[in-house]
Amino acid sequence: MGAAAGSSKEVKKLLKKMKQGGVSCFQISMSFMAALATYFLLIHTVRFHLSRIILLQPPPLPLITSSSSSSSSCPSISSSTAPISNSLSSSSPAAAANASGGIETLGRRSGKNGEGGRSGGVVDVSPCDLFDGRWVEDGDQKSSSTTTTHPLYEPGSCPFVEEAFDCYNNGRPDLNYTRLRWKPKACSLPRLEGRKLLEMLRGKRLAFVGDSLNRNMWESLVCILRSSLDLHKDDGGGSGVYEITGKKEFRYNNSYAYRYAEYNCTVEFYRAPFLVQELVAWSSDGARKESLRLDLMDETSSVYKTADVIIFNTAHWWTHKKTSKGEDFYQEGNHVHRKLSADDAYRKALTTWARWVDEHVDPNRTTAFFRGYSWSHFRGGQWNSGGNCDGETSPIVEERHLAKYPKMVKILESVISGMRTPVMYLNITRMTDYRKEAHPSVYRFSGEKRRRGDSQDCSHWCLPGVPDAWNELMYAMLLKRLA
């Protein structure tokens, strides 16, 4: 298989590098072991989805393990912490000059794209900017009565929602948050027809790559698709939908894949919270040392790069806390930066990602998406200092109550603008800012596990909920590509 061959190549490359003495011992041992292990695993399993080696990955960071059964509270990039320090106004002039470079937003730019389509990077087929809109209740008079009824699957009905996002089964009493749908101002979203999407994906692979917010979105899509299948044939699991290795827990491994047997397609998730390569090593006295290779993509990239649809994200891990304050943490080649700001590091990593996409992702085969920043809504503190969002039952209504557009997102947008590859940009930052009521908060745990004083989850989203709308947007954009 291609992946296995790629791995053996990796091994050879590493061996060569070792001979030339071009890499530090730390790197050699880490990546060599990993490559070797990957190689053997691939040989033995010959399944792309098993290739990531847990060995290489740092054990879950404190956030993920902070309480025994805890899921994955993400730190937030909230405006109150203002983690983003300096520089970078907005898009670079160069990127602005090539505005049509990488970002595809469908209909964002006015004027018809007379030259027929894809080459410019901007597809201008949708009747309007899908991301400029508002949340409306289903059945709202102002919205067309023919649109989907929301939620897209019954609360509590999908066995693939992990406990941390399963607010309904965890006892959250209100349900209004499941009934809102996203309505672009100037047009309507197509109804997400699961069967149609599965047909579009027949024989294909769709992969989410990123942090736990993308896992949130992945579970949403898996459930949306599942609910479109004929559940009378249900054998208890999901009507010909199954995680290929039978896993039921999604926090500790590096990759997962649901297979839709009837359609011969997989919907995969790859954990790569920074997109670039995380390294971990132990010194002789047993101290743990983590670093981040800003110049190298995460190893699993060789596995997901051939997927037919890839949805990337990275944002929430670029914080002071998770990056050792940026001190002796970021590495490029052999050089470890003494200190680097989060936004400089973020830009470097995204640039590594962008170059990798331009070089390795075949736009004729693969549709690449990048999902923008998903807001957190912690009141009165951060995720680890008593911040909370419980008791919220309605979203923000007034646009003027929204927060300032995050600088990190501007960095992201400027990097994407400079790309050769057309990237479908899921510009969901603003739309998520409204939804302060839709996080799991205390309902990240089922009732019996809930303790007073548990940290609340105001970063991820209850399912059904907000990520369903991201998938509806993705579907709307995919329709233009694959249908």
Ligand X SMILES: *[C@@H]1O[C@H](CO)[C@@H](O)[C@H](O)[C@H]1NC(C)=O
Closest distance of CB 203 from ligand X, Å: 4
457 is catalytic: yes
Select 317 or 425, whichever has its Cβ closest to ligand X.
425
Catalytic position from the list 49, 316, 377, 460: 460
Separation between Cα atoms, residue 111 and residue 92, nearest integer Å = 24
CB-count burial class (<10 Å; 0-12, 13-18, 19+) for 425: buried
Closest distance of CB 174 from ligand X, Å: 5
Select 104 or 329, whichever has its Cβ closest to ligand X.
104
Which two tokens mark 313? Answer: 């994200």
Closest distance of CB 98 from ligand X, Å: 4
Select 178 or 214, whichever has its Cβ closest to ligand X.
178
- For β-strands 423-426 and 103-104, DSSP reports them as parallel
Select 355 or 379, whichever has its Cβ closest to ligand X.
355
CB 270 within 8 A of CB 255: yes
- Which residues here bind ligand X, judged by CB under 6 A? 50, 54, 94-95, 97-98, 101, 103, 105, 108, 131, 137, 174, 176, 203, 205, 252-253, 264, 362, 364, 393-394, 405, 413, 418, 425, 427, 430
Report CA torsion sign: 407, 311, 212, 449.
Answer: positive
Closest distance of CB 23 from ligand X, Å: 25
Select 252 or 282, whichever has its Cβ closest to ligand X.
252
Closest distance of CB 70 from ligand X, Å: 15
Nearest to ligand X by Cβ — which residue?
430
Closest distance of CB 19 from ligand X, Å: 30
220 is catalytic: no
Separation between Cα atoms, residue 453 and residue 302, nearest integer Å = 42
Which residues lie across from 231 on neighbouring strands?
none
Select 23 or 99, whichever has its Cβ closest to ligand X.
99
Catalytic position from the list 239, 457, 459, 468: 457
Separation between Cα atoms, residue 361 and residue 304, nearest integer Å = 10
Select 111 or 203, whichever has its Cβ closest to ligand X.
203
44 is catalytic: no
The reply to whether omega before 464 is within 30° of 0 (cis) is yes
Closest distance of CB 278 from ligand X, Å: 16
Catalytic position from the list 212, 220, 227, 228: 212
Q: Which active-site residues does the annotation give?
A: 212, 457, 460
